């Protein structure tokens, strides 16, 4: 087990495996001061008008999307530096509320049959259980739906599997304009939103006037997506109780602690999913401290050996036209990964156990394979030599990243009182 599992989930919302013996000292960096509230309603001066409350189940006082009380391991300078929120579009309670309504509104599709939430369901970690998602006319998307949890903590701010959108503000408008997904032009989008009686009050609260523009729609949707932060899992409870990711957690089973140890050490998963930026093969032995115990992202697009060569979908390479980028894909956050099957950009792996087996013995020798997935100094894919018990322990650990509070939080649920939403 000397090989480390570096790039465990490179192309899909996949999972990372645990390891042993990574002793992360508490408080490795000074903490950023905590925010003050959870997503609880915040004070508002006036109740929502009947044209809003008759259609939408919204509190008169907005939820506190802008003031989420993140735990200490999210407040280190390193983790805060991953936040891609632009200065021109900070999260506001009213802006994210408007974004939530837009996110669930089927009026944003050509025939009013699908919404953003149709492919990003709260109960599935804001992803889709289908391999490919049907659009407004029934045609399938080209790739699996990417989970949205912790999208704000991806430093480059690029979105989609191929990272073709430079910002979240740009990304949120593209599915709406897709002839497969939602099928509206931007002028049609503005007209459609402006025609709904419940939007003037929401736009006024968010932006100071009822004017509907693509820029305001984009900003509101991006604010809501960035507010979807997963930080209340059993893993987070364990970190909070111990002050460090390394020791065994009292709230974990023996199998889950074994999986965590594998993830951090012998399997090498943390070398990609917690230690950033990735580059050379992971250190051996593993480091004894980590400045990231919160965000399970690989912060650059990478190739995970899903195919042995170039295909009809080459990810980032199809955007840059650089052959060195062929087969490289963005990797989603691992939080809630137990809920987001199927996995990989093409949805080709249907269970976490099979994901683990891919990295254990199934990585293929793509010319652009991430170096951390190769035998050092060669083009040969590494094998992890995991036992069945090891693999099961890794899957068990990944299950501790499920945030039951997030997937049941009313602040992120469908606000429509009838079938007008998701």
Domain spans in the chain, listed from the N-terminal domain onward:
50-229, 234-405
The pLDDT profile of the chain, 422 residues, written as one tens digit per residue, is: 333 333 333 333 333 333 333 333 333 444 444 443 455 555 556 899 999 999 999 999 999 999 999 999 999 999 999 999 999 999 999 999 999 999 999 999 999 999 999 999 999 999 999 999 999 999 999 999 999 999 999 999 999 999 999 999 999 999 999 999 999 999 999 999 999 999 999 999 999 999 999 999 999 999 999 999 999 999 999 999 999 999 999 999 999 999 999 999 999 898 888 875 544 445 455 454 578 999 999 989 999 999 999 999 999 999 999 999 999 999 999 999 999 999 999 999 999 999 999 999 999 999 999 998 999 999 999 999 999 999 999 999 999 999 999 999 999 999 999 865 54
C-alpha distances in Å from residue 7, one per residue of 56, 145, 315:
43, 20, 16
Angle at 125 between CA 115 and CA 127, to 5 degrees: 45
C-alpha distances in Å from residue 242, one per residue of 59, 73, 231, 384:
37, 11, 16, 29
CA-atom Rg of the chain in angstroms? 21
- Tokens representing 338 are 């137990």
- Tell me the CATH architecture of domain 234-405: Orthogonal Bundle (1.10)
CA–CA dist 100, 409 (Å, integer): 13
Q: 121 by DSSP, 3-state: which?
A: strand
Sign of CA dihedral 24, 25, 29, 31: positive
> Residue 262 in contact with residue 393, Cβ under 8 Å?
yes
> Which backbone phi and psi does 381 adopt, to 5 degrees?
-60, 140
Residue given tokens 């068990």 in the structure block: 396
> Which backbone phi and psi does 317 adopt, to 5 degrees?
-60, -35
Closest CA to 394 of 275, 277, 260: 260
Q: What is the pTM of this model?
A: 0.88
CATH of domain 50-229: 1.10.760.10
C-alpha distances in Å from residue 213, one per residue of 188, 207, 219, 284:
11, 11, 10, 53
Q: Residues of the chain with pLDDT > 70: what percent?
A: 85
């Amino acid at each position: 087990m000397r090989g480390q599992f570096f790039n465990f989930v490179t192309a899909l919302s996949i999972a990372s495996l645990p390891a042993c013996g990574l002793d992360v000292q508490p408080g490795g960096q000074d903490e950023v001061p905590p925010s003050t509230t959870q997503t609880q309603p915040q004070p508002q001066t006036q109740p929502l008008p009947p044209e809003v409350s008759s259609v939408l189940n919204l509190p008169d006082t907005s939820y506190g999307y802008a003031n989420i009380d993140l735990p200490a391991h999210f407040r280190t300078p390193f983790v805060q530096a991953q936040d891609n929120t632009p200065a021109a579009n900070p999260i506001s309670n009213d802006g994210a509320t408007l974004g939530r309504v837009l996110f669930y509104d089927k009026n944003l599709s050509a025939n009013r049959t699908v919404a953003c939430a149709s492919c990003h369901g709260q109960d599935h970690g804001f992803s889709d259980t289908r391999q490919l998602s049907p659009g407004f006319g029934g045609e399938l998307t080209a790739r699996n739906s990417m989970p949205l949890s912790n999208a704000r903590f991806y430093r480059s701010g690029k979105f989609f599997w191929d990272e073709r959108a430079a910002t979240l503000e740009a990304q949120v408008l593209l599915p709406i304009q897709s002839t497969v997904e939602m099928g509206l032009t931007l002028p049609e989008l503005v007209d459609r939103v402006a025609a709904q009686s419940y939007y003037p009050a929401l736009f006024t609260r968010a932006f100071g006037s009822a004017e509907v523009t693509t820029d305001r729609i984009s900003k509101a949707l991006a604010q809501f997506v960035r507010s979807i932060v997963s930080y209340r899992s059993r893993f987070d409870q364990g970190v909070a109780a111990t002050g460090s990711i390394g020791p065994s957690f009292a709230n974990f089973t023996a199998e889950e602690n074994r999986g965590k140890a594998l993830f951090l050490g012998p399997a090498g998963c943390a070398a990609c999913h917690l230690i950033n930026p990735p580059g050379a093969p992971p250190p051996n032995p593993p480091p004894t401290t980590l400045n990231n115990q919160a965000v399970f992202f690989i912060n650059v697009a990478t190739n995970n050996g899903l195919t042995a060569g170039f295909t009809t979908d080459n990810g980032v390479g199809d955007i840059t036209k650089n052959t060195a980028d062929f087969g490289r894909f963005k990797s989603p956050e691992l939080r809630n990964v137990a809920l987001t099957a199927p996995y990989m950009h093409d949805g080709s792996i249907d269970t976490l156990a099979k994901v683990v087996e891919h990295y254990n013995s199934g990585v293929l020798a793509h010319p652009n394979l991430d170096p951390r997935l190769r035998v050092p100094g060669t083009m040969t894919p590494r094998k992890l030599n995991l036992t069945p018990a090891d693999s099961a322990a890794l899957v068990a650990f990944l299950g501790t990243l499920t945030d039951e509070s997030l997937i049941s939080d009313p602040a992120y649920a469908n606000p429509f009182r009838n079938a007008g939403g998701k």
